[in-house]
Amino acid sequence: MQASVSSSLTWIVDAEATAFANELRMAQPLTASNCAEENTADVVSAKAAGIEIFPLNTSLNPKEANPWLFVRRQQREVWQAAFNASRDVVVTGSPGIGKSFSMSFLLRALMQANNTFVFEARRWNRAYLFKPHADGTYEVGSVDLEDWRPGACDELKDPANYYVIDPAAAGRGDICSVKAKTVVAPSPDPQHLGEWKKNINLQYLYMAACSLQEARCIVKCLRPELNENQVDERYRRFGGILRHLICHPEPVEKARNDTLSNQNLVRRIWTSGVIDMGNDLKPAHLLFQIVPKDDCTESRVEFVSEEAVDLTIKQFEDELLQFLTSFDKLQIAGLGVLYERFAHQVLCRGTLLLTRLANVTVPMFEMRLAPLDVEVVDGSGSDLFKAAIAGQPRYMRPRDEGLPVIDSCLAPVQAGVMTCFQITVSAKHTLDIDFLESSAQGLGITKIVIYWVVPRDSFRDFYRGKIFGKSLEFEQRVLSLDAPHNPFTLPEMEKRLEKADVSELTEDEKQRLGQETDDLKRRYLVMKSFEESDVKTMINQVLKLGKKKGQNQDPVALCAARAWDDISARMTV
């Protein structure tokens, strides 16, 4: 049967598509008052998570087993932004997050606004023309994609109409430029867009993956045999990619392991912070995801899950230690999170670290924490502090990594002193003293020692002045996960002294030190081997020479050699 819905092409009236259109147009989300009694708890949970559930009986997709439509809050915001945009739109995001699955929400919005539009479903090779009647109902015609010519469609020549495309495989069909507003929802492969991507007026909108709360609700409906603990474990392993959450985990795990073994690919992502490139980057989505910023018009790249971060660290630990060395590098998308998780692993396993007071560059001290079990605490900063008061020695961190100031702490609190760590990726990180004092209130804590964990190349330059609380004493220290260049520490002094050889003195030095003992000459060589600025600062601290400039003409290294015992004593404090 031929339809008269278009004057330019021969469309076949599609009874099933028409039934779907009119059901979708009138569909209302489930609420506690309009759902079956046995579904009330699930609907209430979904609403709390910001999910709207439309209990449809029909679908355009002939392979759709469950036609119900689940639309997350952020998806609704994206589709509404696409509907309101004044120019052509690309809705993108990580593969498998539900772009196609939720696209019916846009179709519903178009019908509720009485719009005429074409929906091109490349995944099942069909194009549909949705046209409203005067009474608001819709008639839908369809045509096989082999016979579909967008440029010949009169409806797409009208800028008031819409052209909605759900792409299939990348590179399968170009996008035709038409006057109707075009909305395309591809995965982040530019081959989906072809030459059309050169359109300078394109508006990009980014869709997010599921949150844990959203995943629990949706997976419970799609895979009711999975309990909440199983969903949580899959989320920890694979993140909020819905496709990975509902399928069997073994193929996902194998594909991810293959991606991890592609070292050049992984390095390419963390050095560029870019993931939306060609097909060669497609496997990277098993480790990384596209995360929209606040208004969904910009995005950044992050790791897809906690396990993805941990596996990357395990695979590339030595390389990361040499790469994550400065604040500048940590600004690359994803690397800040990688550094923070890497720091947690280093801090709890008993590695030798380097520290100093935050308001002076020297002295530097070696610090070794005992290997500790890790406890993850739910709740606020107060909950973390309360949990750390007693119990066995352990390394504690909050599950919410967005808490101000505190990334982790040591338990139990010792003699009223609490040791905390702030893993910072920026020199401008602030300290919320009120938060700390409020969290410690009533717990018998009298002092908080805060270690600012910084990359090694930032260890010397990171500075914090002394701070004074209203009810607590504070001490700030800087800590490096890896020894910075030429660290000025007592163990390093002693090690170099054992190897010092007076034959290494220059002729000028031999003349200057001619009457000195060999022991002092060796000490001179050791002090000469350290950074002069570090040695000079230490001399000023030990000998109080800061106010007596010009009174001692000896070189810095010689002054330090003479003050060896005083410097050594200060480095043991």
Residue 248: exposed, middle, or buried by beta-carbon count in 10 A (0-12, 13-18, 19+)? exposed
Beta strand pairing status for 352-357 and 364-368?
antiparallel
Locus of tokens 């993108």: 92
User: How confident is residue 272, by pLDDT bands cut at 50, 70 and 90?
Assistant: low
Whether 173 shows a pLDDT value over 80: the answer reads no
- Give the range among 48-62, 77-91, 315-329, 512-526 with minimum mean pLDDT: 315-329
- The answer to whether the beta carbons of residues 528 and 522 sit under 8 Å apart is no
Overall average pLDDT of the 227-245 stretch: 95
End-to-end CA distance of the chain: 92
Query: 133-137 contacts: CB < 8 A, separation 24 or more?
Result: 136/25, 137/22, 137/25
Q: Residue 203: in which H helix or E strand, if any?
A: strand 203-206
* 322 against 24, higher pLDDT: 24
Overall average pLDDT of the 373-392 stretch: 90
Query: By percentage, how much of the chain surpasses pLDDT 90?
Result: 63
Whether 328 shows a pLDDT value over 70: the answer reads yes
Query: For the chain, which domains are there?
Result: 12-206 (3.40.50), 248-323 (no CATH), 344-480 (no CATH), 490-570 (no CATH)
* 76 against 406, higher pLDDT: 76
* 320 against 59, higher pLDDT: 59
Strand partners, 53: 70
Question: What pLDDT is attached to residue 162?
Answer: 98
Strand partners, 71: 52
Overall average pLDDT of the 343-358 stretch: 89
Question: What pLDDT is attached to residue 546?
Answer: 46
- The answer to whether the beta carbons of residues 482 and 323 sit under 8 Å apart is no
Strand partners, 418: 448
